[in-house]
Amino acid sequence: MYHFESDYLEGCCPQILDALRETNLEQTLGYGEDPHCSKAADMIRYVFGCPDAEVHFLVGGTQTNATVIASLLRPHQGVLCAESGHINIHETGAVEHGGHKVLALPSRDGKISAAQVRAALEAHQSDFSREHMVQPGMVYISFPTELGTLYTKEELEDLHQVCSEWEIPLFIDGARLGYGLEASGCRLLPKDIARLSDVFYVGGTKQGALFGEAVVFTRPRLAEDFRYCIKQNGGMLAKGRLLGIQFEVLMNGGLYFQLARRANRLADRIRAAFLRKGIPFLVENTTNQIFPILEIGAIDRLTGSFGVERWQPVDETRTAVRFCTGWATTESAVAALEAYIEANL
């Protein structure tokens, strides 16, 4: 049985395994102060067109979100995000564990708008009892969102604008950044992500690495003493070079983007297969996650042949499921799934 439940079911792209083997007996300083981290940071600055950015490497996404947010907020501040945001739902309250409230905004498609952010900031500022409320101190979005949707360039420009006006940082969770940038129809370039955010991260775990997320502070002043914060939050890997080595490989020759592009194309094929059968989707998107709405009986049969995640009930008889493709997804598995959809749904 082939599994489409998530994009972190396998190990890593073989180039990374090769690099780990080649470098295995090198002796380097620990904690990210090695030549591999240094070179990987340079490559990321180059690829994202932000030569002055400060780059740090952490192990996982929850850790990265909690660390960035704790390092940027004062105690009475909270972080604005979509109610479906990963930090609001699926990080076991890591942000709150660090002392901060997640200020959730309603969202239908995983996105929040500049207008929502502006309204929240203005409402706070104009409330006579605002000192009794958590002050919005930054904005968190993900690109792509939890639902695989993407901000347009214009939407991101607007969010960046409102954050600049109000002088609060805009943080982009890029756990699946490559899948977003390589989606068909996406007009954003890597340098736009850097230009339109104050801090973002380049996700490795779901895009070909064993693990690892590269945090990029495009306004380096915000990164002051960030390494202390990494350590305090348990994210400073002793053999930090493992992160540098992996991002060297992924940034080399655009591999990171190639892997994402390939996965997106496979996702497009699956999406098209459902479309051909007139099957609706929970949300329209163009990245590596696909959310068709299926009859429960059909899901039960499908899961005899393919692994898939039950995402959320839609009505009494139908549930949205999630298919993910990734760097490791095989052509043959997708072909088999296409055939199954054609024949059985």
Distances (CA, A) of 132 to 19, 73, 81, 125, 126: 53, 17, 20, 12, 13
9 versus 336: smaller Cβ distance to its own copies:
9
In the chain, which ranges are E strands? 2-3, 54-58, 77-82, 102-105, 135-142, 170-173, 199-203, 213-217, 289-290, 293-295, 306-307, 309-313, 318-324
What is the nearest approach in angstroms of its own copies to the Cβ of residue 65?
8
- State the sign of the Cα–Cα–Cα–Cα dihedral 257, 259, 260, 261: positive
For its own copies, the closer of residues 77 and 149 by Cβ is: 77
Min dist CB 182 to its own copies, Å, is 21
Closest to its own copies by CB, 91 vs 192, is: 91
Residue 48 or 327: the one with the smaller Cβ distance to its own copies is 327
Residue 317 beta carbon to its own copies: minimum distance, rounded to whole angstroms = 19
Q: How far is the CB of 206 from its own copies (least distance, A)?
A: 7
Minimum CB separation of residue 163 from its own copies in Å reads 18
CA distance 172 to 295: 35
- Rounded CA-CA distance 251/263 in Å is 17
Half-sphere exposure of 53 (CA within 13 A, CB side): 30
At closest approach, how far in Å is the CB of 277 from its own copies? 26
Shortest Cβ 345–its own copies spacing (Å): 23
The candidate with the shortest Cα–Cα distance to 50, out of 191, 244, 221, is 191
Q: How far is the CB of 299 from its own copies (least distance, A)?
A: 15
Contact 228, 237 (CB under 8 A): no
Residues contacting 300, CB < 8 A, separation 6+: none
Contact 201, 227 (CB under 8 A): no
99 vs 280 by CB, closer to its own copies:
99
Candidates 97, 199, 69; CA nearest to 143 is 199
Q: Which two tokens stand for residue 291?
A: 């959310």
Minimal distance, residue 307 CB to its own copies, in Å: 7
Residue 26 CB neighbours (<10 A):
11
Q: CB-wise, 172 or 245, nearer to its own copies?
A: 245
Place of tokens 């805009």: 170
Q: Which is nearer to its own copies, 231 or 276 (CB)?
A: 231
Question: Quick one: 154 or 313, whose CB is closer to its own copies?
Answer: 313
Under 8 Å between Cβ of 299 and 4: no
196 or 321, CB closer to its own copies?
Answer: 321
* List of residues 6+ apart from 60 with CB closer than 8 A: 205, 211, 213, 235
